[in-house]
């Protein structure tokens, strides 16, 4: 049992380490080698193929009444959210991106309160206020900061958080009804259908494949296989062993991992690109978001009569 729990925590750490690395490696080829929209197209297409191979062994049909909800999940969870994320990442700092991503539980809480009528306690209201201060200050900081921070980029990344959080709320009823592979297959299928009119022209006519190097192909492969396929399986495996709150808490490791990656790049590889991206404002913003999400996730103490 202890060994299984350890593997679950290792899977969660691995997934968030991949997310943190992805912020840097994906940004490294945008927009010099490839624009964000074609990269998203390749990611969704590649993930659809991989999950389709797994889905082949799962004989499960969906009901017609669930098609619209699955299409909405594809729009929110596999197309629009990815478009704004990669366009935002191409403009802003990977550190900013990793900090903003930690606000996801707070956004899920807001949407759950609005759509699912989840009860708002004083702790959650306080947490929401503190977390919002951190997220807003970081996004606004992109206006005047040094380094690679960007107000528009940070705003787009936050929009990704909003889209994906809404996806998590919309997909929830389906998770209790179908196998998770069935759901994710249809989500990526609809996501690709939405991306075709938006990105197919860029994929065919506006991408200079002649400028691609082996490194470009390896990074695209990393985004498809590891950032999309493996991380999803890691998270699903972990959720079978630990609670969603434990799994969600690993999001907090992303800013720390991003700081470590910047230090490694600066010290060992003499890459000073992101050296100015670590600042006291970002560290304070990070702590405010984490404290806010902690308060939102905190369960009220039971009253003993």
Question: Can you give the pLDDT at residue 122?
Answer: 72
Mean local confidence (pLDDT), 266-294: 74
pLDDT digits (tens, 9 = 90+) for 205-252: 999 999 999 999 999 999 999 999 999 888 888 877 776 666 766 777
pLDDT band for position 303 (cuts 50, 70, 90): very low
| Whole-prediction pTM | 0.84
Mean local confidence (pLDDT), 111-118: 71
pLDDT digits (tens, 9 = 90+) for 133-191: 776 676 666 555 556 677 888 889 999 988 988 888 888 888 888 988 999 999 999 99
78 or 113, which is more confident: 78
Question: Counting beta carbons within 10 angstroms of the beta carbon of residue 250, is it exposed (0 to 12), middle (13 to 18) or buried (19 or more)?
Answer: buried
194 or 283, which is more confident: 194
Question: Can you give the pLDDT at residue 301?
Answer: 54
pLDDT digits (tens, 9 = 90+) for 6-62: 888 898 889 989 998 999 999 989 988 999 999 999 999 999 999 999 999 998 999
Question: Can you give the pLDDT at residue 305?
Answer: 41
269 or 18, which is more confident: 18
Number of Cβ within 10 Å of residue 272's Cβ equals: 10
Question: 93 to each of 21, 33, 151, 161, how far by Cα in Å?
Answer: 13, 18, 10, 16
229 or 255, which is more confident: 229
- Mean pLDDT score of the chain, rounded to an integer? 83
């Amino acid at each position: 049992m202890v060994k299984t729990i350890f593997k679950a925590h290792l899977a969660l750490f691995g997934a968030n380490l991949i997310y943190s690395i992805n912020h840097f490696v994906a940004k490294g080829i945008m927009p010099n080698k490839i624009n964000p929209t074609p990269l998203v197209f390749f990611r969704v297409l590649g993930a659809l193929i991989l999950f389709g191979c797994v889905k082949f062994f799962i004989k499960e049909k969906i009901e017609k009444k669930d098609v619209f909800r699955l299409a909405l999940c594809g729009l929110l969870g596999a197309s629009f959210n990815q478009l704004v994320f990669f366009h935002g990442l191409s403009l802003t700092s990977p550190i900013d991106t990793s900090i903003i991503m930690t606000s996801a539980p707070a956004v899920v809480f807001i949407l759950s309160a609005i759509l699912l009528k989840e009860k708002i306690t004083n702790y959650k209201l306080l947490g929401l206020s503190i977390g919002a201060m951190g997220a807003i200050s970081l996004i606004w900081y992109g206006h005047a900061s040094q380094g690679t921070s960007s107000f528009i980029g940070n705003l787009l990344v936050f929009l990704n958080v909003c889209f994906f959080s809404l996806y998590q709320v919309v997909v929830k009823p389906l998770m209790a009804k179908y196998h998770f592979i069935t759901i994710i297959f249809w989500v990526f299928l609809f996501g690709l259908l939405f991306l075709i009119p938006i990105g197919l022209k860029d994929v065919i006519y506006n991408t200079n494949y002649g400028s691609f190097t082996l490194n470009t192909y390896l990074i695209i492969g990393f985004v498809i296989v590891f950032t999309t396929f493996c991380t999803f399986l890691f998270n699903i495996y972990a959720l079978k062993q630990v609670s969603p709150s434990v799994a969600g808490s690993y999001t907090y490791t992303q800013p720390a991992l991003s700081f470590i990656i910047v230090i490694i790049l600066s010290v060992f590889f003499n890459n000073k690109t992101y050296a100015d991206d670590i600042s006291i404002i970002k560290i304070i913003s990070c702590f405010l978001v984490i404290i806010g999400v902690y308060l939102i996730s905190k369960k009220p103490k039971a009253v003993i009569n």
